[in-house]
Amino acid sequence: MITKAIIPVAGWGTRRLPITKIIEKSMLPVGNRPLVDYSVQELVKAGVKDIYFVISNVEPCQVREFYKDNLALNQYLIDRGKEDKLEKAKTLPDDVRVHYVSQDPSSKYGTAVPVAMVVEEYKIDEPVFVFFGDDFIWNPDGESAAESLLKAVKSPEESAILGVEVKKEEVVKYGMIDVKDGKLTKIVEKPKLEDVTSNLVHVSKYIMSPKLLQEMVEYVKSHDFGPLDQEYMATDPLATFVEKGGTVRVAPTTGEYLDGGSVEGWVHANDVVCGN
């Protein structure tokens, strides 16, 4: 069982301006819940007890507010005889602990950075889930992304990445992954159409082993990219990990990938969730 999860939700969400000027991207509503909560609830259901949110160092933090008890609201519901709504107002079970790591939006940028920050600050030396906060897999009658990843790994030394099938012409928008015998052999970010060799893409849903986590830390430490150079992409140390002989299982999913990062994706996510 994996009991820890890292969920990066920092950043300005510039693709979704102007709404992200006042609403954090991960808190945009899909149905009656924030976008990030779909991943949070499936992780809790899979056995996670410690959630590490990487948040922007800007106050107030809406993610922090959502995942703590609102005592004034609870008292209001009690006073008005609406105790039946207390369960809906409670967003996490009592046995789940939430930790927050603040990231300066003007500092190093990229998907590897928040992972490395949490690993270093909390000295994590065990497998963890890493789920980014602006997308999720919708599969209400089947296996969740977390369950698919757990099923894929065979030991604590192995990592896993979620693979989603898309049309060949859509692969260019994502990170293409090549697979052999259920293991990741190559990952290419936004390949050219003529270079597409697989219709499997990754959607930033992982189980990362201790060695892969350390690869993330060393990658961020050993590079000094400027803001206009390149991002610290998690897929770079992931590829290095595979080249060194590390095992990354590819977990297929039968669910639908929903992305709130674009207006079109967010509207579609609401159509799917509210239509079921």
* Rounded Cα–Cα distance for residues 63 and 86 (Å): 19
Mean pLDDT, residues 195-214: 94
The pLDDT, as a whole number, for residue 230 is 85
The pLDDT, as a whole number, for residue 1 is 87
Higher pLDDT, 100 or 197: 100
pLDDT interval class at 12 (50, 70, 90): confident
Mean pLDDT, residues 134-151: 95
Q: Are 156 and 195 in contact (CB under 8 A)?
A: no
In this predicted structure, the answer to whether residue 94 has a pLDDT above a threshold of 70 is yes
Q: Which two tokens stand for residue 215?
A: 């690869």
259: containing domain: 4-274
In this predicted structure, the answer to whether residue 276 has a pLDDT above a threshold of 70 is no
In this predicted structure, the answer to whether residue 59 has a pLDDT above a threshold of 90 is no
**Averaged pLDDT score across all residues of the chain:** 94
User: In this structure, what CATH number is given to the domain that contains residue 77?
Assistant: 3.90.550.10
Q: What is the reported pTM?
A: 0.95
For 176, other C-beta atoms within 10 Å of its C-beta total 22
| Helix H or strand E segment including 37 | helix 35-45
Q: How many domains does the chain have?
A: 1
Percent of the chain having pLDDT more than 90?
A: 80
Q: Which pLDDT tens digit goes with each residue over 258-275? A: 999 899 999 999 999 998
The pLDDT, as a whole number, for residue 240 is 95
In this predicted structure, the answer to whether residue 203 has a pLDDT above a threshold of 80 is yes
Q: Are 155 and 138 in contact (CB under 8 A)?
A: no
For 34, other C-beta atoms within 10 Å of its C-beta total 24
In this predicted structure, the answer to whether residue 138 has a pLDDT above a threshold of 90 is yes
For 113, other C-beta atoms within 10 Å of its C-beta total 21
